[in-house]
Amino acid sequence: MSWLEALFLGILQGLTEFLPVSSSGHLTIGSVLFGMSGEENLTFAIVVHTATVFSTIVVLWHEVAGLFKGFFSFKWNEETQTVCKILLSMIPVGIVGLFFKDQVEQLFGSGLLLVGCMLLLTAALLAFSYYAKPRQKENLSFKDAFIIGLAQACAVLPGLSRSGSTIATGLLLGNKKEQVAKFSFLMVIIPILGEGFLDLIKGGFSPAASGISYTALTVGFLAAFISGSVACKWMINLVKKGKMIYFAYYCLAVGLITITYALIN
């Protein structure tokens, strides 16, 4: 992988991690177009996903700092409840990561047909959440947090947008737009950082074995971090304005193109 390819894929990851169009799906498409192998793709995906987590922390620093301060006051306050909801939402994806990691990694090498189908599913979820008008709740409940966590666990499938699935699920449950958008971005911080740490100590993260240079990885990381910071702020504003439907059209178009490409090649 050249540094130019890493730059392109890093920007792609940063933008699509927060926009509801599936970062994993777009990375898979980009990897196929650039001829990247499965090991190369996985190593690069870990690096750029970690970069977007750091961009989340930077953009939502006020919320993150508030959660830490409230939680370590050791009182059952709003911040402590939010942290507990985030931890609860992590259980489904944690189970998938612990017991089905090999199967998930195989999916990333399964080709573009699955990606295209999952993009169509993402489009359907976004459209449904846009047109449905559930009764709005004042606060996101523990039950809702767990259900949103289930949506996040399903979104390990390449092409099924994590942010799209979790935000759409939260909206269908009747939660406020800005509240569910911020919760969606906060709930992914620990799982991705935890996965990266486990890969590091187990030796599963191996840039040398992947064949990617440290220069390309650094360029990809920085590109994903900068573009992710921009996209995170942009996405929160878009959700507040209720403009998710445009991403449904986009996912529908890209999904159909991807399926067509997969079938003729």
Q: Which two tokens stand for residue 197?
A: 């740490």
CA 152 to chain centre: 8
- Between 103 and 51, the more confident residue is 51
pLDDT digit string (tens) for 112-153?
Answer: 788 888 899 999 999 998 888 777 888 899 999 999 999 988
Q: Could you give the CA distance from residue 167 to residue 239 in angstroms, rounded to a whole number?
A: 9
For residues 190-202, b (16+ Cβ closer than 10 Å) or e, as one string?
Answer: bbbeebbeebeee
Looking at residue 265, what is its pLDDT?
74
User: pLDDT value at position 30?
Assistant: 72
Q: Token digits for 106?
A: 């195989």
| Residue-level pLDDT at 209 | 56
Whole-number percent of the chain with pLDDT over 90: 22
pLDDT at 35 over 70: no
Q: Which pLDDT tens digit goes with each residue over 187-244?
A: 888 777 766 655 555 555 555 555 677 788 888 899 999 998 988 888 888 887 777 8
How confident is the model at residue 122, as a pLDDT? 92
What count of other Cβ atoms lies within 10 Å of the Cβ of residue 213? 15
Read off the pLDDT band of 104 (50, 70, 90): low
Taking CA 191 as the corner, what is the angle to CA 187 and CA 196, rounded to the nearest 5 degrees? 145
**Can you give the pTM of this predicted structure?**
0.80
Confidence of residue 107 (pLDDT cuts 50, 70, 90): low
pLDDT at 40: 52
* pLDDT score of 81: 94
Burial 150-183 (b: 16+ CB within 10 A, else e): bbbbbbbbbbbbbbbbbbbbbbbbbbbbebbbbb
Confidence label for 23 from pLDDT (cuts 50, 70 and 90): confident
Task: Count other C-beta atoms under 10 Å from residue 103's C-beta.
Answer: 10
Q: How many Å apart are CA 187 and CA 261, to the nearest integer?
A: 34
Rounded distance, CA 4 to CA 235, Å?
26
For the segment 75-103, what is each residue's pLDDT rounded down to a tens digit? 899 999 999 999 999 899 888 877 776 66
Question: What is the mean predicted confidence (pLDDT) over 12-40?
Answer: 72
- Confidence (pLDDT) at 197: 59
Q: Between residues 203 and 166, which one has the greater pLDDT?
A: 166
Average pLDDT in the chain: 82
